Amino acid sequence: MKIRPQRLRQGDTIGIIAPASPPNQENLERSLAFLEQLGLKWRFGKSVKNGYGYLAGTDEERLADLHDMFADPSVKGIICAGGGYGSARYTDKIDLQLMQENPKIFWGFSDITFLHTAMGLYSNLVTFHGPMLASCVGKETFHELSARMFQQLFEPMELHYTEEISPLETINGGVAQGELVGGNLSLLASGIGTKFEIDTKGKLLFIEDVGEEPYRIDGLLNQLRLAGKLEDAVGIVVGDFSAVEPKKGKASLTLAEVFAHYFGDLGKPVVKGFKMGHCQPHFAIPLGVGAKLDADNRTLTILPGVE
């Protein structure tokens, strides 16, 4: 069993860090009103306003913020300002024992997938794949359902995803239960062959991505296939794949054809269409908890992520 972090309470302080690229500062400032509505105080990491090329400060600065927030007992949870690129550059230097000994809410997605995987493997910690402050919360497109998903941090609640939220499509029927793992497909593929390789054995694998053409998604799924990750999983939860159109005039398979190729004969439940990922609404989920995918009835049930 993974360690579920303690729930948040009104008046708690959360740490805001930028583990990857520099966040949009205007959006980040706008997002603070939402944290106020939730009754939360906040503390910025030192590198949140830094810039080092395409990174929010040096690897050492961003890593220090991550360690600092987990080590500080007054910080009850950590929400990432944004993603982009760069989390994997220092993952091998993270004190993952520190996180296991100081379990707390850790929330983000996209490039943050690499950190989710590392914490799941070596800190035994339940983490949260959810919309970030500058890249989602502080934008005018931030959806009411996305906002409601933060309530799962304040009380243990079972999550139920049905077609009331979005149309779902069954690629393969059946029912599967297991620990929910995964995140951004590109980041999952980049971990193959490293000590941060996703473990899908007996688990439900969740994938999402943005801005990748069908041939790129094909290649990423093939990498997971060749590494045995699709075979090991008990089922596949296909989240949002946005901005994936092939370049104009270029011959291409459709994304549906790519999914059919990799999942059609897999012999286990696969459902696509979940609004999880680079989309609004963004249905936030805990990673590392038990879940049940019913591909026949097109539902996903996820156990609570906090104590």
85: its two tokens:
């690129």
Residue tagged 């473990």 (tokens): 199
Which is the catalytic residue, given 31, 110, 123, 186? 110
166 a catalytic residue? no
Distance separating alpha carbons of residues 112 and 83, to the nearest angstrom: 6
Cβ neighbours for 29, distance < 8 A, ≥ 6 positions apart: 138
Distance separating alpha carbons of residues 165 and 273, to the nearest angstrom: 10
* 3-state DSSP assignment of residue 41: strand
Which is the catalytic residue, given 61, 179, 208, 212? 208
Which is the catalytic residue, given 31, 123, 186, 278? 278
Distance separating alpha carbons of residues 146 and 180, to the nearest angstrom: 20
278 a catalytic residue? yes
| Residue 165: closest CA among 1, 285, 22, 56 | 285
Distance separating alpha carbons of residues 194 and 73, to the nearest angstrom: 32
261 a catalytic residue? no
| Residue 263: closest CA among 297, 294, 306, 218 | 218
Residues classed as catalytic: 110, 208, 278
